[in-house]
A and B are shown apart, each in its own frame.
Chain A
Amino acid sequence: MVETGHFALVLAFALSLVQFVLPLVGARTGDARLMATAGPVAVTGFAMTAISFAALTVAYMLSDFSVLNVVENSHSQKPMLYKITGTWGNHEGSMLLWVLILTFFGALVASFGRNLPATLRANVLAIQGLIGSAFFLFIIATSNPFVRVSPAPIEGQDLNPILQDVGLAIHPPLLYLGYVGFSVCFSFAIAALIEGRIDAAWARWVRPWTLAAWIFLTGGIAMGSYWAYYELGWGGFWFWDPVENASFMPWLAGTALLHSAIVMERRSALKIWTLLLAIMAFSLSLLGTFLVRSGVLTSVHAFATDPARGVFILMILVFFIGGALMLFAWRAQTLTPGGIFAPISREGALVLNNLFLSTAVTTVLVGTLYPLVLESITGEKISVGEPFFNLTFGPLMVPLLLAVPFGPLLAWKRADLWAASQRLVFAFGGAVLVMLVTYSFVDRASVLAAFGIGLGTWLVLGAITDLATKSGLGSVSPGIALRRFAGLPRSAYGTALAHLGVGLTTLGVVGVMSLQTEHILTMKPGESVPVAGYEIRFEGLQPYRGPNYTEDQGRFLLMDSSGRTLTEIVSAKRFYPARQMPTTEAGIATRGVSQVYVALGDAVDGGGIVVRIWWKPLVTLIWLGCVVMMVGGSLSLLDRRLRIGAPAKRRKRLAAAEATA
Chain B
Amino acid sequence: MVFWIVLGLLTVIASLAIILPLSGSRREVAGAREHDIEVYRDQLAEIERDAGRGLIGKEEAAQARAEIGRRILKLDTNDQNGGHVPRDNALVRGLAMAAVVAVPVMSWGLYSAIGSPDMAGQPLAERLAKDPASSTIDELVARAEAHLRANPEDGRGWDVVAPIYLRLDRAGEAATAFRNAIRLLGDSAPRWTGLGEALMAGSGGVVTTDAAAAFERAAALDPADPRPKFFLATAKAQEGDLVAAATDLRALLSTLAAESPWRPVVEQTLAQATAEAERRAASAAPGPSSEDMEAAAELSDAERADMIQVMVERLDERLRENPQDAEGWQRLVRSYLVLDRRADARDALARGVTALGTDTEQARGLTAFAAGLGLGEDQP
Residues on A lying within 8 angstroms of B by beta carbon are 1-4, 6-8, 10-11, 13-15, 17-18, 21-22, 25-26, 29-37, 39-41, 43-44, 47-48, 51, 59, 62-66, 76, 115-120, 140, 144, 146, 148, 150-155, 160, 162, 195, 197, 199-201, 204, 268, 298-300, 302, 484, 487-489, 577, 579-583, 640-649, 654, 657-658, 661
Contacts and interface: CB of A to CB of B under 8 A. Distances in A.
A29 B67 contact: no
A201 B39 contact: yes
Contact of B121 (A59, A153, A199, A647): A59
A259 B32 CA distance: 26
Given A18-B102, A140-B114, A644-B43, 16 more contacts: A3-B119, A6-B114, A6-B116, A10-B107, A10-B114, A29-B89, A36-B22, A76-B124, A117-B32, A117-B35, A199-B36, A268-B71, A484-B54, A644-B64, A654-B59, A654-B60
Interface string B1-38: 00100110011011001101111101111111001101
A31 B379 CA distance: 57
B141 A154 contact: yes
Contact of A3 (B30, B115, B123, B380): B115
Contacts of B96: 22, 33-34
Given A201-B39, A646-B64, A31 B86 contact: yes
Interface centre among B81, B122, B139 (most CB of A within 10 A): B122
Nearest to A67: B121
Contacts of B103: 11, 14-15, 18
B224 interface: no
Interface centre among A34, A488, A581, A583 (most CB of B within 10 A): A34
A581 B172 CA distance: 13
B160 interface: no
A620 to B, nearest CB: 27
B47 interface: yes
B302 interface: no
Contacts of A644: 43, 47, 64, 67-68
B24 A33 contact: yes
A31 B89 contact: yes
Nearest 10 A/B pairs, CB to CB = A30-B84, A62-B123, A154-B138, A44-B17, A63-B124, A646-B60, A36-B21, A117-B35, A200-B39, A66-B122
Nearest to B138: A154
A657 B42 CA distance: 25
A117 B36 CA distance: 8
B40 interface: yes
B111 A6 contact: yes
A107 to B, nearest CB: 12
Given A11-B107, A34-B95, A658-B60, A64 B123 contact: yes
A576 B107 CA distance: 41
22 contacts: A3-B3, A3-B115, A14-B14, A15-B103, A29-B91, A32-B26, A34-B96, A66-B121, A118-B30, A120-B32, A140-B110, A160-B379, A487-B54, A489-B55, A579-B376, A582-B379, A643-B43, A644-B47, A644-B67, A646-B63, A649-B59, A654-B57
B299 interface: no
A30 B32 CA distance: 12
Contacts of B379: 160, 162, 581-583
Nearest to B74: A336
B43 A117 contact: no
Contacts of B102: 14, 17-18
Given A6-B111, A31-B89, A658 B57 contact: yes
B380 A30 contact: no
B186 interface: no
Contacts of B114: 6, 10, 140, 144
B121 A2 contact: yes
A29 B26 contact: no
B63 A648 contact: yes
B18 A7 contact: no
Contacts of B81: 197
Nearest to A648: B60
A152 B138 CA distance: 10
B107 A14 contact: yes
A582 B114 CA distance: 38
A7 B115 contact: yes
Nearest to A151: B136
B35 A155 contact: no
B111 A197 contact: no
Contact of A197 (B7, B32, B117, B125): B32
Contacts of B141: 154
Contact of B376 (A39, A48, A581): A581
Contacts of A581: 376, 379
Nearest to B374: A580
A143 to B, nearest CB: 12
Contacts of A120: 32
A22 B99 contact: yes
A8 B115 CA distance: 11
A658 B63 CA distance: 12
A300 B380 contact: yes
Nearest to A646: B60
B295 interface: no
A115 B35 contact: yes
A147 B64 CA distance: 60
Contact of A32 (B53, B67, B86, B380): B86
Given A14-B14, A64-B121, A4 B64 contact: no
B84 to A, nearest CB: 3
A119 B124 contact: no
Contacts of A76: 124, 142
Interface centre among A10, A26, A40 (most CB of B within 10 A): A10
Interface in B108-140: 110-111, 114-117, 119, 121-125, 127, 136, 138-139
Contacts of B22: 33-34, 36-37
A57 to B, nearest CB: 13
A152 B142 CA distance: 13
B85 interface: yes
Contacts of A47: 13
A4 B56 contact: no
Given A14-B103, A116-B35, A642-B43, A51 B10 contact: yes
Contacts of A484: 54
A642 B46 contact: yes
B14 A11 contact: yes
B167 interface: no
B92 interface: yes
A11 B106 CA distance: 8
A200 B71 contact: yes
B61 interface: yes
A48 B9 CA distance: 12
A179 B46 CA distance: 32
Interface centre among A6, A197, A204, A644 (most CB of B within 10 A): A644
A657 B57 contact: yes
Contacts of B136: 151, 154
B50 interface: yes
B124 A64 contact: yes
A473 B146 CA distance: 70
Nearest to A51: B10
Contacts of A3: 3, 115-117, 119, 121
Interface string B168-211: 00001000000000000000000000000000000000000000
A48 B95 contact: no
B87 interface: yes
Contact of A661 (B56, B110, B121): B56
B40 A62 contact: no
Contacts of B35: 115-117, 199-201
Contacts of A580: 172, 376
Nearest to A35: B29
Given A6-B115, A11-B14, A579-B376, A31 B87 contact: yes
Contacts of B84: 30, 119
A65 B17 CA distance: 35
Given A641-B46, A647-B67, A62 B13 contact: no
